[in-house]
């Protein structure tokens, strides 16, 4: 069964989060966060209503900082999204898979390429550099270690800074993934919201 099919099946099950969502936060800082997130995405994201709302504001700001730091990366934007999506797919983080694709739609990237992620080794949509980065991200995520050959292939395409950026993407994506998986946070169907906005 393909990862996309697993995703659809799990969305159909639509299991509840382990902690209930807080729809009306008490803290003013969270009320403001809900307002701005709703404006940006069309809804308050489930991780904010389940996880961030229960922690001091500094924790939510730390998670938000990851997106800010991504803007300092020198890798192509599409490569960044491909690596994050691949890690989320392997970890089966439904929320991260959905929000990643929503950003792809929003940025008008080649969706066919993301649809073909499970065939990246053979698909003509991917170049050798992307394949080597995805091999590295896959191995590191799946096995929690990387073979010297896999690293050498990636290093032949990327600078030392870019290699460190790829490591950052894999590591920081795990933070998002494990947070959502640990609290049974599933897809927010953001892709559908973005497609409707684009069609309007």
CATH number of the domain to which 117 belongs = 1.20.1290.10
Comparing CA positions, the residue from 175, 17, 16 lying closest to residue 88 is 175
Average pLDDT of the segment spanning 156-177: 98
Asked if residue 199 is part of any domain, the answer here is no
Minimum mean pLDDT range among 15-19, 82-86, 110-114, 138-142: 15-19
Asked if residue 94 is part of any domain, the answer here is yes
Query: Which residues are within 8 A (CB) of 148 and not within 5 positions of it... i.e. 6 or more apart?
Result: none
Asked if residue 82 is part of any domain, the answer here is yes
Q: What is the CA radius of gyration of the chain?
A: 17
Task: Give the Å distances, CA to CA, from 43 to 34, 47, 62, 65, 139.
Answer: 8, 12, 21, 20, 35
pLDDT band at 196, cuts 50/70/90?
confident
Share of the chain above pLDDT 90, in %: 88
Helix, coil or strand: residue 98: helix
Asked if residue 187 is part of any domain, the answer here is no
Q: What is the mean pLDDT of the chain?
A: 93
For the beta carbon of residue 143, count every other beta carbon within 10 angstroms.
10
Give residue-wise pLDDT tens across range 26-49. 999 999 999 999 999 999 999 999
Asked if residue 41 is part of any domain, the answer here is no
Domain count, the chain: 1
Asked if residue 124 is part of any domain, the answer here is yes
Asked if residue 91 is part of any domain, the answer here is yes
Asked if residue 25 is part of any domain, the answer here is no
- Contact indicator for 132, 157 with CB cutoff of 8 Å: yes
- Enclosing domain of residue 83: 77-182
């Amino acid at each position: 069964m393909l990862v996309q099919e697993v995703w659809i099946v799990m969305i159909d099950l639509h299991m509840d989060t382990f902690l209930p969502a807080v729809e009306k936060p008490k803290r003013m800082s969270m009320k403001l966060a809900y307002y701005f997130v709703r404006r940006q995405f069309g809804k308050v994201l489930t991780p904010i209503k389940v996880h961030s709302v229960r922690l001091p504001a500094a924790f939510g700001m730390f998670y938000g900082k990851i997106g800010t730091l991504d803007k300092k990366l020198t890798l192509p934007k599409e490569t960044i999204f491909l690596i994050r999506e691949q890690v989320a797919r392997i970890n089966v983080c439904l929320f991260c898979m959905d929000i990643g694709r929503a950003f792809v739609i929003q940025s008008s990237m080649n969706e066919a390429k993301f649809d073909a992620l499970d065939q990246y080794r053979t698909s003509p949509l991917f170049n050798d550099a992307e394949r080597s980065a995805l091999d590295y991200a896959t191995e590191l995520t799946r096995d929690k270690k990387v073979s010297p050959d896999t690293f050498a292939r990636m290093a032949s395409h990327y600078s030392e800074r870019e290699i460190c950026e790829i490591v950052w993407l894999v590591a920081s994506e795990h933070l998002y993934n494990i947070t959502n998986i640990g609290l049974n946070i599933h897809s927010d169907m953001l892709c559908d919201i973005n497609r409707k906005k684009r069609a309007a």
